[in-house]
Amino acid sequence: MQGVPGQKTEAIGPTTTHAMVLEPLLVNLADAGGSSYLRVALTLRVAEAADKKGNGEKGKDDKGTEDAVAAVRDTVLTVLGRQTADGLLGADGKEHLKAELKSAIAEHNPDLKVKDVFFTDFLVQR
The answer as to whether 7 is a domain residue is: no
| Contact assessment for residue 105 and residue 20, using Cβ atoms and an 8 Å cutoff | no
The answer as to whether 6 is a domain residue is: no
Average pLDDT, the chain: 86
What is the mean predicted confidence (pLDDT) over 8-17?
Answer: 66
The answer as to whether 28 is a domain residue is: yes
pLDDT at 63: 76
Task: Identify the domain containing residue 82 by its residue range.
Answer: 17-48+65-125
Tell me: pLDDT of 110 over 70. Answer: yes
CA gap 7, 69 in Å, rounded: 36
Buried b (16+ CB within 10 A) or exposed e, 44-59: bebeeeeeeeeeeeee
- The CATH number of residue 104's host domain is 3.30.479.30
What is the mean predicted confidence (pLDDT) over 11-22?
Answer: 82
The answer as to whether 10 is a domain residue is: no
The total number of structural domains that make up the chain:
1
The answer as to whether 9 is a domain residue is: no
Q: Which of 6-10, 40-44, 120-124 has the lowest mean pLDDT?
A: 6-10
The answer as to whether 5 is a domain residue is: no
The answer as to whether 103 is a domain residue is: yes
pLDDT at 37: 97
Over the stretch 45-91, which tens digit does the pLDDT of each residue have?
A: 999 876 554 444 444 457 778 899 999 999 999 999 999 999 999 99
Over the stretch 95-107, which tens digit does the pLDDT of each residue have?
A: 999 999 999 999 9
What is the separation of C-alpha 23 from the centre of its chain, rounded to a whole number of angstroms?
13
Q: Say which residues have a Cβ less than 8 Å from residue 33's Cβ, sequence separation at least 6.
A: none
Q: pTM, whole model, 2 decimals?
A: 0.79
Give the bridge partners for 44, in sequence order: 20, 117
Q: Say which residues have a Cβ less than 8 Å from residue 40's Cβ, sequence separation at least 6.
A: 24, 25, 27, 80, 119, 121, 122, 123
pLDDT at 65: 84
The answer as to whether 41 is a domain residue is: yes
